[in-house]
Amino acid sequence: MKRNLFILVPLLTVTLAIFSARTAFAGPKPGPGIDRHKHYEPYCPRPGRYYHTLPPGHLTMRVANMLFYYRDGVYYRETPSGYVIVNAPAGAVIRELPPYYKQIPYENNVYYYYNNTYYVRHPAGYTVVNPPAQVVVSNPPAVEAPKETVVVTVPNPNGSYIPVTLEKYSDGYKGPNGEFYPDYPTIDQLKAMYAVASATAERPLPEELEFQVPNRNGSFTKVTLRRTKDGYVGPEGEYYKDKPTMDQLKVMYAK
C-alpha cells in the first residue's frame, strides 16, 4: 500500500502541474449561461511581451512566408530571446474563434472581433483581415489607461543623459517606442533602446534649485524652486515656465 502511495503522489503532482500550465495559457472559457457572442473583454497579453516557451496546445502557421504560432487569439513569433507576442498577421486562418468574440455586421458582411483583431469567415474557418475604416471607427478597442508614468534618466556614452518616460500598466511598462516590458526595465535594457552616442541631452536638473538672491543691503536671500513636469514653482507659489533669471527672482524676493 505504501509503495502505491509513493507512486501515486508524484503522478498526481505532475498531472496538476500540466493542468495548471494549460489553464494559465488557455484564458477564460465560457461557463454555463455565458453567451460566446457577447464581448467580455477577456485579458490578453499585449504585443511585445516575451515568453521563454510557447503555451501548450499552440498551432504553427505560415503567413507571407513567415512562421507564426497561435493559441487562443494570441499570435507569437520566435526570437533569440524567446517568443514574443505580435499583432495578428493579415491572412492568418484559424479553424474556430476564441470565446467571447464580438460580431460587427457591415454592408452584407459580418466581422468578428477579438483581442484587437478582425476576422471574416473563410472556407477553412476564419481569416484575419484589415476591415474598412468605418468598422474600426464604430468599434474602438478598449484601451487601458496607464496607472502612472515614470521618468528614467538613461546615460549616453558621451556622459550626457536622456530622459525616457515609461507608462506603467497593470501587467508591465510601455516605453516611448511602443515596446513593452513585463517587469520594470533595467538601465541596460533602456540603454540598448535609447542611448545615443552623439546625444546633446544635458544632465537632468535636480528636483530643487537653490538661488542666492542679493538684497539691497548686500545680504542674500535663499530661494528654493521646485521643478515640475513643465516648469518651476517658487516658495510663494508663483510659476515660471522656464528657469527664472536672477532679475525675475529679485523682483519677487530681494529685500
Sign of the Cα pseudo-torsion (88, 27, 169, 59, in order): negative
**pLDDT for res 204:** 54
C-alpha cell at 27: 484564458
Distant-in-sequence, close-in-space partners of 226: CB < 8 Å, separation ≥ 6? 207, 208, 232, 233
Sign of the Cα pseudo-torsion (28, 30, 31, 34, in order): positive
**pLDDT for res 186:** 85
Strand partners, 174: 167, 180
From residue 251, how far is each of 28, 222, 244, 247 by CA, in Å? Answer: 64, 14, 11, 6
**Which residues of the chain fall short of a pLDDT of 70?**
1-43, 143, 178, 197-206, 229
User: C-alpha angle 38/40/45, rounded to 5°?
Assistant: 135
How does pLDDT run across 56-91, given as a tens digit for each residue?
Answer: 999 999 998 899 999 999 999 998 878 989 999 999
From residue 61, how far is each of 3, 58, 140, 202, 243 by CA, in Å? Answer: 46, 10, 28, 48, 57
One-letter amino acid at 199 equals: A
C-alpha cell at 213: 538672491
**pLDDT for res 62:** 93
Domain map (residue ranges) of the chain:
50-138, 148-194, 208-253
φ, ψ of residue 172 to 5 degrees: the values are 155, -155
Helix (H) or strand (E) holding 31, with range, is none
**pLDDT for res 129:** 95
**pLDDT for res 163:** 87
**pLDDT for res 54:** 94
Q: Is 197 left (phi over 0), alpha (psi -120 to 50) or beta?
A: alpha
**pLDDT for res 3:** 52
